[in-house]
Structure formats: structure tokens, C-alpha cells
Amino acid sequence: MGGLGVGNILHKNLILLFKWWWRFSESDNTLWKRIIKSVHDIKGDKASMDTFRNIKTGTWSSLTCNEPDIVKVRSILEDGMVLRVGDCSSIQFWHDRWCEAGVLKSIFPRLFAISLQKNSEISHMGEWAGSTWCWKLDWRRPLYDWESEEVRVLHQIIAQNGPKRYREDGLLWKNAEVAAYPTKYIKDKFNESLGSSLPKNILSIVWQKFIPPRAKLTLWLANKEKLKTADYLVEKGIIAPQNAWCPFCRSELESNSHILFTCRFAWRSWMEILKWWGLSASLHSKFPDFSTQWLGLVNVREHKDIWALTLGCVIWSLWYERNKIKFESKTPNLQNFVTSLKIRIGIWAKEIMGSSTYTPNVIYNADTFILQT
Ligand SMILES: [Zn+2]
């Protein structure tokens, strides 16, 4: 078939269809939007996968399905759309994606469950004291210790992004002057992506699908190299350099790249996981390269999902283990760590994929099971 085949027309229609994604975010309180929201029981006022989760039928459901082409267009769009936080009267605190980190109810499901402001706009979740915005979050009951810790992290995330006075909320396209649906940009990006099988932000798709909500924040920070490791704290003058050793090896300065990849504890853990799968590779030491390379190591279609989940699970577990050692004086033990990793991968797989193919027991014995297929 020539270059002007059916494929092109379908792609064009697809890109036009996604204009609704943009329009939904753009228009406040219009009749059609109120109807869509009520028909599909949508919470949230801005388009995102979280907002449209409930849509199962009709044209709108094709916007949220997992067809490869649709995933590509959607990820280009989600990657470029930016909510400009203004007076916050049209953005819902828990349901809309107004923080770079993601939708807050997905990152903090347990806090969402005890919030007394589940459907509140941001503008109703605090007040102005002079020119300073003061958050006021209300909970159904007193917080447990671990919940207070989560609230602290939540405040860190929202601190930089509070309401701005005398400015309306808006919808922008990243790096563009004009606030309009960028048909041409999406078309070009989409055509670029046809040559490669992985869209640019494959990671965010992986995280959306295969990571339990409670682990998403850590993964997101790791992806941006923003985990608060000792090098950061030294730089900020919070701790002295002599207290900045990596808790695993105690012989090098702790950094994001060190703790997750180059430390011998981390490195040996990755090698054990590769061995478990009958693979070997020399791995990169920076998150984006590392993960792209990792995801490319397994090409059997049935195993790609579990392999993506494994990446997220090892990263999260390394950080979790690091905290246990640092704050609860646990002693590092590679063999125990790897064993608990394999079990955790099984637990996550069961929780997220819900299938009986990957029970914790099957995963634990993966060396036999994977090699047979
Ligand atoms: Zn180390």
C-alpha cells in the first residue's frame, strides 16, 4: 500500500478525536461537559487517564483504551498539556492532574480515603493570609504517625504549586505561545514515533500500569533523579559530608545513581535478577538509559509486562531497603534482599495484573518457569 493509505486517514481521525481530550480540560461548566461527567460518573474536571477511568462505552472509551496508536497519541498529549495553576477555582485537588508528580488521589490513596475534601476545588483547600497561600487540609480523624509522614510528603509536592492570585486557571501547551490544541505538533510527533516501537515517555506508561499507587512517588522521583540522597542534603548544607556515606556499602558518597545502580549492593541485586531470568548484560548507571536498556532485554511478548513491573519493583525496593538500613539500623544482607525482591515481584504482579499466571510462588520459581517458555 502506498504512503496515502487507510492508515494515514485513521491516524488523522485519531488525532482529531483527541481534540476532545483537550476541550474537556479547557471548557469549564459547559453543558456538554456536565452531561459527559454525569453519564460516565466522572470525578475531576481535567482530562487524564485517572479522570476517565470509569468510561467503558461509547466514543469516549476509545480515548482510554490501550491500542498502541491510541497510547502513542495520548502520551504525546499528556506529556505536553500543562495546567496553569491560577485562582484554582476550576481544578480539583484530588482528582485533577495539576502537579507534575501526578494525580494526588492515585499517589496518596490512603490519605484520599480519609480526606473530608474529596471533591473540593483547590481554591477551597486553603486561604490567603495576605499574599501567602496557606493550605488547610481536613481529615476525617486524627492521623497515625505513618499518615503524618505521607502528609508531609504531600505538602512538599504541593508547596511549589499553590494558587496564584489574580490569574485564571488555564490550559497550555508545553513550550508554545498559543493555548490551543496543537494538531500539527501531535501529527509530527506521532509520525516520528511510527519508526520506533517505544514512545518517548514509555516509562510513564509503565508506571501507570504496573506500579502500585503507594510506590509511584518513589519511582517518579527516581526517574527525575530527585530522591533525597545524601549528596543532595550535603549540597543544601543539611548534613556534613562525613555523614554522607551510602548505607549499603559505607564506602562511597550516596547519590541517586549510586544507590540505585552503581553501588555494589545495588549492582549485585540487578545481576541476581538477570541471572534469575537467564540473562546477562552490562547495565547503564543513569535512570533513563538504564530503564530503556532494561525494557529492551526481554522481547517475549507474554513476559514484557512482568519485566517492566520487575524494573519498578527493584528500584522501589532498593530505596525502601536503604531507608530501613538508614533509619531502622537494619544490616544490609544481599541474599535476603534478593529473596524478598522475588517475593515482592510476585505480590505486585498478583495485585496489579490480577492473573493467576504470576502468583508469588510461580514468580519465586521463575528460573524454571521462564526458561521453559
Ligand atoms: Zn554504596
For residue 283, the CA-to-ligand 1 centroid distance in Å is 16
Q: By C-alpha distance, which of 105, 87, 81 is closest to 23? A: 81
Contacts of 47 by beta carbon, 8 Å cutoff, 6+ apart: 21, 22, 24, 25, 81
In the reported structure, the alpha carbon of residue 277 is separated from the centroid of ligand 1 by a whole-number distance in angstroms of 25
How many angstroms does the Cα of residue 210 sit away from the middle of ligand 1?
27
The H or E element spanning position 197 is none
For residue 249, report the distance from its CA to the centre of ligand 1, in Å. 4
- 10 Å CB burial of residue 149 (0-12, 13-18, 19+) is exposed
Distance CA 332, CA 371 (A): 30
For ligand 1, the distance from its centroid to the CA atom of residue 364, given in whole angstroms, is 26
**Cα 335 to ligand 1 centroid, rounded to whole Å:** 16
Burial of 9 (0-12, 13-18, 19+ CB in 10 A): exposed
Q: Where are the domains of the chain?
A: 6-80+182-193, 86-168, 201-372
pLDDT number for residue 354: 74
Distance 266 CA to ligand 1 centre (A): 8
Separation of CA 274 and ligand 1 centre (Å)? 20
In a 13 Å sphere around the CA of 122, the CA atoms on its Cβ side amount to 30
Identify the pLDDT of residue 250.
92
Are 213 and 107 within 8 A, CB to CB? yes
pLDDT of residue 125: 94
CB 95 within 8 Å of CB 119 = yes
The three three-digit cell numbers of residue 302, written as one number = 507474554
pLDDT for 196 equals 53
Backbone angles phi, psi at 126, to 5 degrees: 170, -175
Q: How far is the CA of 197 from the centre of ligand 1 (A)?
A: 35
Distance 362 CA to ligand 1 centre (A): 31
Residue with cell 488555564: 170
> What's the grid cell of residue 165?
492570585
Cα(178)–Cα(182) distance, integer angstroms: 9
Q: One-letter amino acid identity for 111?
A: L
Alpha helix segments (H runs only) across the chain:
6-17, 19-26, 31-40, 68-80, 104-107, 109-114, 145-159, 183-194, 202-210, 213-223, 230-235, 256-257, 264-276, 287-297, 301-328, 334-353, 360-364, 366-372
Pair 95, 105: CB distance under 8 Å = yes
Whole-angstrom distance between the N-terminal and C-terminal Cα of the chain? 36
Instruction: Note the pLDDT of residue 272.
Output: 94
Rounded CA gap, 369 and 248, in Å?
Answer: 31
- Which residue is listed with cell 499528556? 78
Q: What pLDDT is attached to residue 361?
A: 65
Residue pointed to by grid coordinates 548507571 = 285
Amino acid identity, position 328? E
**pLDDT < 70 regions, the chain:** 1-7, 175, 177-178, 195-208, 355-373
313 Cα to the center of ligand 1, angstroms:
19
**What span, in angstroms and rounded, lies between the C-alpha atoms of 323 and 13?**
49
What pLDDT is stored for residue 370 in this prediction? 54
